């Protein structure tokens, strides 16, 4: 069989698609069926990839920005042309509803277009003359990048890093999550087919992330790590850096608060909260994890939420009308059940949901959970302190804006926050007070290519997207000139 036709040839190393010595299984989280086997890279292949990236760094940085930009535009077009097959694969691997998968794939194209545009604007500057002459600020590609990505948005997380790294002139080695390597391989094939030189874009699918990342982190030629995933693993990567400083972008866990002010349009706000909570079955770093509602409108707002949640349907992501797919695995289900049981044992009430869901199809053996609303939640409960990463919405009643904002900020995390209301001054004061990198004001989906994305505190550092995104892939040289 031609290696390009071998679906397990998922290692892209130095321009060649390779099958590797061993493979690991990929499972559909809705049915638990094995849907494929992919190559299982080890540390040796990681070192070979870094050798190739180091060789390619010089080639790629000398390619003119317009040509690099053209490759990324071509990749965006190729992804748009394949939206249905990519979305179907994404749903099979991750479980999310097909409509969400389509949206994610189209976001990939938009992100590549944004990166293509930003790459052409990665300008330096000339400073006004000093006593002896002018100064220059020169921007240079950071050098070989390792991109480590999670399973929850397995297409966009790959593309966001790859697009910016390539646009800035750096080669990139992608290590996708072990749950979702096939969509990463499919997307990287499309980007690579645009004619990238060998070693510029590489892929290491592996079931041994620590070993593969460790081999790369040990080598000073790796100049940047861009990691999206849990805070625990992200902090571990910082510690693993040891005596070798390098640039690090970290997009880590969130624990997003949402505040509903008493003057909010309750029906619109409820629709927004439900979207921001239950998209991707709540398995999103920007999912609402704590909802603070003014006591005066609490009961009416909860009633609105219950009506909206009644319209959600749990099941297989390809089934028409399904809005909530499975959780990624049984560990994820165990965490969700633990948070719900703990909250109930400490006095919370289940308004709707609260249990494992059993969709009406015998082949659906995955970990499904009912969309759940809890009231009477307080700060003694696990759910008030930890990211649930599932379809559970805990509602906290608050007496005033001050209490809502203080409690929203009382967390080690600082990724996303939401405010719903109508009074402009109140909303402005709230977004000024909230210590979060991404804020939705009456906007449940605050992610746009034009806006920088990233967190404060233990949610991360550096930004992806916006004009700030490409900065994370550029070094700065200050040049003082004596005339």
55: buried, middle or exposed (CB in 10 Å: 19+, 13-18, 0-12)?
middle
- Tell me whether residue 252 or residue 274 sits nearer to ligand NAD (CB atom): 252
Between CA 21 and CA 13 the distance in angstroms is: 14
DSSP string, 148-210: E--SSSTTHHHHHHHHHHHHHT--EEEE--TTSHHHHHHHHHHHHTTTPPTTSEEE---S-HH
Q: Which of 230, 275, 429, 442 binds ligand NAD (CB under 6 A)?
A: 230
Burial of 466 (0-12, 13-18, 19+ CB in 10 A): middle
For residues 353 and 281, give the distance between their C-alpha atoms in angstroms, rounded to a whole number: 13
Q: Which stretch, 22-30, 207-215, 261-269, 378-386, contacts ligand NAD (CB under 6 A)? A: 207-215
The smaller minimum CB distance to ligand NAD, of residues 93 and 401, is found at 93
CA quadruple 187, 190, 194, 195: dihedral sign: positive
Q: Does 210 bind ligand NAD (CB under 6 A)?
A: yes
Residues 23 and 40: beta-carbon distance below 8 Å: yes
Applying CB under 6 A, among 460, 463, 469, 474 the residue interacting with ligand NAD is 460
| Minimum CB distance to ligand NAD, residue 290 (Å) | 14
What's the rounded Cα separation, in Å, for the pair 201 and 387? 33
* Of positions 93, 104, 113, 387, contacts ligand NAD by CB under 6 A: 387
Nearer to ligand NAD, 28 or 194 (CB): 28
Nearer to ligand NAD, 397 or 438 (CB): 438
| 251 has catalytic annotation | yes
Q: Which residue in the list 285, 387, 462, 471 is annotated as catalytic?
A: 285
Which of 151, 261, 278, 436 binds ligand NAD (CB under 6 A)? It is 151
When asked if residue 331 is in the footprint of ligand NAD (CB under 6 A), the reply is: no
**Does 285 contact ligand NAD by CB under 6 A?**
yes
Does 238 bind ligand NAD (CB under 6 A)? Our answer is no
Cα separation, 408 vs 412, whole angstroms: 11
* 342: three-class secondary structure by DSSP: helix
156-175: contacts with ligand NAD (CB under 6 A): 175
Scanning residues 27 to 86, which ones bind ligand NAD (CB under 6 A)? none
Nearest 5°: phi and psi at 421? 180, -175
Distance CA 473, CA 51 (A): 19
**Does 216 participate in binding ligand NAD (rule CB under 6 A)?**
no
CB of 40 to ligand NAD, least distance (A): 12
- Which window, 12-20, 79-87, 105-113, 228-236, contacts ligand NAD (CB under 6 A)? 228-236
Tell me the C-alpha distance between 41 and 17, whole Å. 12
Q: Which is nearer to ligand NAD, 178 or 378 (CB)?
A: 178
CA 394, CA 344: separation in Å to the nearest integer? 11
The residue from 40, 100, 251, 471 that contacts ligand NAD (CB under 6 A) is 251
Phi–psi pair at 57, nearest 5 degrees: -60, -45
Residue from 150, 199, 353, 449 binding ligand NAD (CB under 6 A): 150
Residues 388-447 that bind ligand NAD (CB under 6 A): 415
Please give the size of the binding site for ligand NAD, defined by CB under 6 A.
26
DSSP, residue by residue, 245-293: --EEEEE----EEEEE-TTS-HHHHHHHHHHHHHGGGG-STTSEEEEEE
CB of 439: closest distance to ligand NAD in angstroms? Answer: 14
Which of 100, 118, 251, 471 is the catalytic position?
A: 251
Nearer to ligand NAD, 197 or 209 (CB): 209
| Site for ligand NAD contains 204 (CB under 6 A) | no
Shortest Å, Cβ 160 to ligand NAD? 9
| Cβ at position 207, least distance to ligand NAD in Å | 9
Q: Per rule CB under 6 A, is residue 233 in the interface with ligand NAD?
A: yes
Q: Is 32 left (phi over 0), alpha (psi -120 to 50) or beta?
A: left
Residue tagged 């990939």 (tokens): 108
Distance CA 227, CA 231 (A): 10
Whole-number minimum distance, CB 97 to ligand NAD, in Å? 18
Give the strand order in the sheet containing 256-260: 349-352, 372-375, 392-398, 288-294, 256-260, 416-420, 438-441
Compare residues 78 and 157 and give the one whose CB is closer to ligand NAD. 157
Q: Is 213 in the site for ligand NAD (CB under 6 A)?
A: yes
Nearer Cβ to ligand NAD (190/285): 285
Q: Is 72 exposed, middle or buried (0-12, 13-18, 19+ CB in 10 A)?
A: buried
Q: Report the C-alpha gap between 381 and 396 in whole angstroms.
A: 11
Q: Which is nearer to ligand NAD, 210 or 406 (CB)?
A: 210
Is 285 noted as a catalytic residue in this protein? yes
Told to check if 315 binds ligand NAD by CB under 6 A, we report no
> Residue 444 has which token pair?
């449940």
CA dihedral over 315, 319, 324, 328, signed as positive or negative: positive
> Active-site positions?
251, 285
Residues that bind ligand NAD (CB under 6 A): 148-153, 175, 177-178, 209-210, 213, 228-230, 233, 236, 251-254, 285, 387, 415, 455, 460
């Amino acid at each position: 069989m031609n290696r390009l036709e071998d679906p397990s040839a998922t290692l892209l190393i130095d321009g060649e698609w390779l099958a590797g010595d061993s493979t690991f299984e990929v499972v559909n989280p809705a049915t638990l069926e094995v849907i494929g086997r992919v190559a299982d890279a080890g540390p040796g292949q990681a070192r070979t990839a870094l050798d190739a990236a180091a060789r390619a760094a010089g080639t790629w940085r000398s390619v003119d920005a317009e040509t690099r930009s053209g490759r990324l535009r071509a990749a965006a077009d190729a992804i748009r042309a394949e939206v249905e097959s990519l979305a179907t694969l994404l749903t099979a691997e991750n479980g999310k509803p097909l409509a969400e998968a389509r949206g994610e794939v189209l976001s990939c194209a938009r992100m590549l277009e944004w990166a293509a545009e930003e790459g052409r604007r990665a300008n330096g500057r000339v400073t006004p003359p000093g006593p002896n002459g002018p100064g220059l600020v020169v921007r240079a590609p950071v050098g070989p990048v390792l991109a480590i990505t999670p399973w929850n948005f397995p297409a966009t997380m790959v593309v966001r890093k790859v697009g910016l790294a390539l646009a800035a002139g750096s080669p990139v080695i992608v290590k996708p999550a072990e749950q979702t390597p096939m969509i990463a391989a499919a997307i990287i094939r499309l980007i690579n087919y645009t004619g990238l030189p060998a070693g510029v874009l590489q892929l290491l699918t592996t079931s041994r992330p620590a070993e593969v990342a460790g081999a790369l982190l040990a080598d000073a030629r790796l100049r940047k790590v861009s990691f999206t995933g849990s805070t625990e693993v992200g902090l571990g990567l910082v510690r693993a850096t040891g005596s070798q400083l390098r640039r690090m972008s970290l997009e880590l866990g969130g624990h997003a608060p949402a505040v509903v002010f008493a003057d909010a349009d309750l029906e619109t706000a409820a629709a927004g909260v439900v979207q921001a909570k239950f998209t991707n079955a709540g398995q999103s770093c920007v999912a609402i994890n704590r909802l603070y509602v003014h006591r005066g409108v609490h009961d009416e707002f909860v009633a609105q939420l219950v009506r909206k949640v009644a319209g959600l349907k749990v099941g297989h992501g390809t089934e028409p009308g399904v809005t909530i797919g499975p959780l990624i695995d049984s560990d994820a289900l165990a965490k969700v059940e633990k948070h719900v049981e703990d909250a109930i044992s400490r006095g919370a009430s289940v308004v709707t949901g609260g249990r494992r869901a059993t969709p009406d199809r015998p082949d659906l053996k995955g970990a499904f959970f009912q969309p759940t609303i809890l009231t009477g939640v307080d700060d003694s409960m696990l759910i008030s302190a930890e990211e649930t990463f599932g379809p559970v919405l805990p509602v906290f009643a608050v007496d005033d804006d001050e209490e809502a904002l203080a409690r929203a900020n009382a967390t080690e995390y600082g990724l996303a926050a939401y405010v719903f209301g109508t009074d402009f001054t109140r909303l402005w004061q709230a977004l000024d007070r909230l210590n979060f990198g991404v804020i939705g004001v009456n906007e449940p989906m605050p992610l746009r290519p034009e806006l920088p994305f990233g967190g404060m505190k233990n949610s991360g550092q550096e930004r992806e997207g916006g004009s700030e995104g490409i900065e994370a892939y550029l070094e700065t040289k200050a040049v003082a000139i004596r005339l």
